[in-house]
Amino acid sequence: MEVSNLMDTTLILILTPFITAGIGWLTNWVAIQMLFHPRKSIRVFFLNWQGLIPRRQKQLASESAEIIEREILQQHMVLHEIKKIELGPYLEDTAKTIVWERIGPQLRAIPLLGGFINDLTLAKFEVIAAASMKEEAGPLMEKVATQFEDSVNLRQMIEDNIAAFDLDRLETIVKQVAGSEFRTIERLGAVLGFIIGCLQVALFWTTGAIQF
């Protein structure tokens, strides 16, 4: 009988750290799953239980949109970024197309005047058109950016898109990006659980809570 009790006690001491390690891993795994699950609120005893992100999706959408509006729109970052666009090469190509493919054929088709329109004349028109377009490009881009900031409700657009974002897709993206971090959290729970189990065994041993 004493031998049997000794074996049972030894087995309990050996298994305790592994059991607590399993509990630690399971606890962290459940905590990670609860970020997204359950999708819809369910009642557990007297509590309503729902995943963190599904429950806070609308709030996250509103606060994210507010931050973007404050940091981007109020700082006129859209205007600044548009001004960085180098339109020179595009304007030169556009001026060339307009002069040689549109204006040139129409001028040459005019009786009497058309005879005076040659390639040299059109080349000069191209230079003038390109220079004029470049002068107007800056003010025009600023007007477009300002009009965009004033007319487009970017905050509401962002808020609506985040609030309507498919949670299955979001969960897949998050787990793809942070999968290794999630696994590290799970393993850390197991390690901490194992350490706690070892401390419990040591405590039982030193206090004589378990008699051999």
The pLDDT confidence band at residue 1, using thresholds 50, 70 and 90, is very low
Question: Does the pTM exceed 0.75?
Answer: no
With tokens 């204006």, the residue in question is 103
Both structure tokens of 83: 């001004």
Which is it for the CA torsion 130, 134, 140, 146, positive or negative? positive
Ramachandran area for residue 112 (φ above 0: left; ψ -120 to 50: alpha; else beta): left
Of the CA atoms within 13 Å of residue 102, those in its CB half-sphere come to 8
DSSP run (H or E) holding 182: helix 167-207
pLDDT at 121 over 50: yes
pLDDT at 187 over 90: yes
**What confidence score (pLDDT) does residue 100 get?**
87
**What confidence score (pLDDT) does residue 21 get?**
94
